[in-house]
Chains A and B, each alone.
Chain A
């Protein structure tokens, strides 16, 4: 039987592989090729070499988006993970109504990003209007609006992962630590945290890549206003490609750089947190 599976492996793998090639590999190769081209539509490209990559650095909005996104990622990764972990700790203490709370916290994650963006735009603008301000008054409003939105959306999801990690800690380990006289802080620092390190790896990876690639929430909340100052990388790439005539190739080149940056940062982060994981 096993032999048969092995022999028919190509046939079984073919549909998925074909779908993967059509949907992922081919567009990716085409995309990288187009970043070296000048074109109006993707079918009439002419090769221009590295010109697009050079033009990127003359575009101030890209540099700004890069810093803005990095800052956003740092802040959101920290706040989301700390808050999610705190909520997870609370909801594993066996307080009444734990399941209801877990469900409620998880629910924002089920709403799509565009809808969330518009909902929060209404809420935040409604509050800011009392002070004669709007979300798009300055990029700081947009920044903190996005942080609030992303926290609200992601904390529930990360919380579930942390809860699973916390529940996996063997009871005897905690008991042993308590008998040894560890107080709550020591318990958290030397038992719980090392034991949930795999969850931290996953959660920080997810939040990091999510924040870097954030697009729909950004589009719906501020759309990059004012003056492209609350524009994050993904939106900047989209706007370059579709919004500026003659800059399609530059948008494509930005996307390639963006891919490399996200991949690099994610790999480094995985290495770092993995090395801290321990076995019970």
Chain B
């Protein structure tokens, strides 16, 4: 009998330990939670002599304040967000967890995280197309404090009257150039222009790039442009950001802001700039498929190339690789469209905050409070503008200029009356469309495909994907 009892107890322990094992597999979020735990502990200790009822009341109150779980999109700023969250927890006692999806995996991480019981309360979409997927999960922010802080309605993502997303960072991209090498070039007798200001059209840009490429050895560079890598860490620079320009000019010509069928009016210009990128480059076009974003950054930072198409977010990587602030400059991406002398840099946002509608009410409230704190408090504004290097479209940020020199360059363009190019790529019908264009671009560059394939992927692919996404 004893034996039986023993075996029953043993097996019960086994089951129990197994279940316990299952239960404790919480995702490794940040240390904020732990810190939170220790602060509560400390609180309880102090209150040890207080009546038990009061302690109880205190804990229920803590539970009612809710908690925040932010699924962050930008790995570059992961640590800054965690530090900011810890600071908020310290100030208010509200638990803030920050998790960051690895580069290129945001959608898949969000897809699995939002199905969990502890779903993110604050997440991001990349614009109208991203919103189409997640619209059912988005809380209407129209009455929220953070919406009231927005400088302009242009930065809100609306569906009818409902505000579903709020842009929290505005970014700018163009052709970053190495001012030191370019100045050396202007001093040479083979240079076609003598100052950066003269590069104000595609013809000029091409002439400069061609003559740099022809005299690469003399200038000590490998090519005019960094490698136009088509690895997934870099291909978005061309299939998304560069493709923005022909789409932007077509929208301008037609006076529209989105379309269900693109015509490809400016595809020849797209071809011209792409040809320039792959011809006047540091590497042969046949090896583009495995060139990464890091390769391009390294080439540029080491002075092997003069031009590098990227945006304000690249500043951190460039300065970490030893680029001095004063050797950085930025040119608009000229594609040979009419009136491009007045074209500025490409400015917009693909980072919209959304609040999870399905979260508990107190969690939603906690999240809204957190957002408000981030965009109004000194700690939040300093962190966003200095540590993360963001330009934020909220009122309070007028007092916190960004420290990122590329952003100042972007501001100068606007101040000089150049017309910024809007980010129309948020209207691209799907990721699949971008992939199709990217693959065709690569095949064309390698010589294994024709430009017609790019045209097909661009025009026909748009219509197909638009129907597929909106059926």
Chain A residues close to B by CB (< 8 Å): 4, 8, 11-12, 14-15, 18-19, 22, 40-44, 121, 125, 129, 132-138, 223, 225-228, 242-246, 248
Assess whether B430 is interfacial by the CB under 8 Å rule. Answer: yes
A11-B8, A41-B111, A133-B286 known; A243+B469 contact, CB < 8 A: no
**Which of A40, A125, A129, A223 touches B133 (beta carbons < 8 Å)?**
A40
Contact bitstring B368-396, A, C-beta under 8 A = 1, else 0? 00000000000000000000000000000
CB–CB A246/B287 < 8 A: no
| Complex CA–CA separation, A11 to B12 (angstroms) | 8
- CB A92 to nearest CB in B, in angstroms, measures 42
- The A contact surface, by secondary structure, is loop
CB–CB B22/A40 < 8 A: no
| Complex CA–CA separation, A107 to B108 (angstroms) | 34
CB–CB B469/A40 < 8 A: no
A-B contact count (CB 8 A): 89
**Which of A8, A42, A129 touches B115 (beta carbons < 8 Å)?**
A42
- CB A45 to nearest CB in B, in angstroms, measures 10
A residues near B289, Cβ cutoff 8 Å? 134-137, 225-226
A residues near B430, Cβ cutoff 8 Å? 244-245
CB–CB A228/B284 < 8 A: no
CB–CB B290/A18 < 8 A: no
CB–CB B286/A244 < 8 A: no
CB–CB B448/A243 < 8 A: no
A residues near B440, Cβ cutoff 8 Å? 227
Contact bitstring B280-299, A, C-beta under 8 A = 1, else 0? 00001011011000000000
CB–CB B468/A246 < 8 A: yes
**Which of A41, A134, A242 touches B114 (beta carbons < 8 Å)?**
A41
* Contacts A11-B11, A41-B112 known; 16 new A-B pairs at CB < 8 A: A15-B14, A15-B15, A18-B18, A40-B133, A44-B115, A137-B289, A137-B448, A226-B443, A226-B446, A242-B108, A243-B107, A243-B432, A244-B430, A245-B107, A245-B132, A246-B133
| Complex CA–CA separation, A8 to B107 (angstroms) | 48
**Which of B15, B137, B290 touches A134 (beta carbons < 8 Å)?**
B290
Assess whether B7 is interfacial by the CB under 8 Å rule. Answer: yes
What are 27 residue pairs bridging A and B, where the CB atoms are less than 8 Å apart in the complex?
A4-B4, A8-B7, A15-B14, A15-B15, A18-B15, A40-B134, A44-B136, A125-B290, A129-B287, A132-B284, A136-B290, A137-B289, A223-B232, A225-B230, A225-B231, A226-B439, A226-B442, A227-B440, A228-B435, A228-B439, A243-B108, A243-B431, A243-B432, A243-B435, A244-B432, A245-B107, A245-B132
| Complex CA–CA separation, A121 to B287 (angstroms) | 13
CB–CB B432/A137 < 8 A: no
Most chain B beta-carbon neighbours within 10 Å: one of A42, A137, A242 = A137
| Complex CA–CA separation, A4 to B132 (angstroms) | 61
CB–CB B22/A22 < 8 A: yes
A residues near B8, Cβ cutoff 8 Å? 11
| Complex CA–CA separation, A22 to B21 (angstroms) | 13
B residues near A138, Cβ cutoff 8 Å? 448
| Complex CA–CA separation, A223 to B442 (angstroms) | 15
CB–CB A244/B111 < 8 A: no
**Which of B14, B115, B290, B446 touches A41 (beta carbons < 8 Å)?**
B115
B residues near A133, Cβ cutoff 8 Å? 286-287
| Complex CA–CA separation, A129 to B440 (angstroms) | 22
The 10 closest A-B pairs by CB, nearest first: A227-B439, A136-B289, A41-B115, A242-B108, A134-B290, A43-B115, A132-B284, A132-B286, A11-B11, A245-B133
B residues near A15, Cβ cutoff 8 Å? 11, 14-15, 18
**Which of A11, A22, A134, A223 touches B287 (beta carbons < 8 Å)?**
A134
- CB B179 to nearest CB in A, in angstroms, measures 31
- CB B229 to nearest CB in A, in angstroms, measures 11
- CB A53 to nearest CB in B, in angstroms, measures 17
A residues near B286, Cβ cutoff 8 Å? 132-134, 137
Closest to B109 in A: A242
- CB A250 to nearest CB in B, in angstroms, measures 11
CB–CB A245/B431 < 8 A: yes
B residues near A248, Cβ cutoff 8 Å? 111
| Complex CA–CA separation, A18 to B20 (angstroms) | 13
| Complex CA–CA separation, A225 to B234 (angstroms) | 14
A residues near B230, Cβ cutoff 8 Å? 225
CB–CB B107/A137 < 8 A: no
Contact bitstring B427-471, A, C-beta under 8 A = 1, else 0? 000111001000110110010100000000000000000001100
- CB B362 to nearest CB in A, in angstroms, measures 21
Closest to A228 in B: B439
- CB B242 to nearest CB in A, in angstroms, measures 18
Closest to B286 in A: A132
CB–CB A14/B108 < 8 A: no
CB–CB A135/B108 < 8 A: no
Contact bitstring B86-127, A, C-beta under 8 A = 1, else 0? 000000000000000000000110011011000000000000
Closest to B115 in A: A41
| Complex CA–CA separation, A223 to B439 (angstroms) | 13
A residues near B136, Cβ cutoff 8 Å? 40, 44
B residues near A8, Cβ cutoff 8 Å? 7, 11
| Complex CA–CA separation, A256 to B439 (angstroms) | 28
| Complex CA–CA separation, A277 to B136 (angstroms) | 59
Most chain B beta-carbon neighbours within 10 Å: one of A41, A133, A223 = A41
A residues near B435, Cβ cutoff 8 Å? 228, 243
Closest to A121 in B: B290
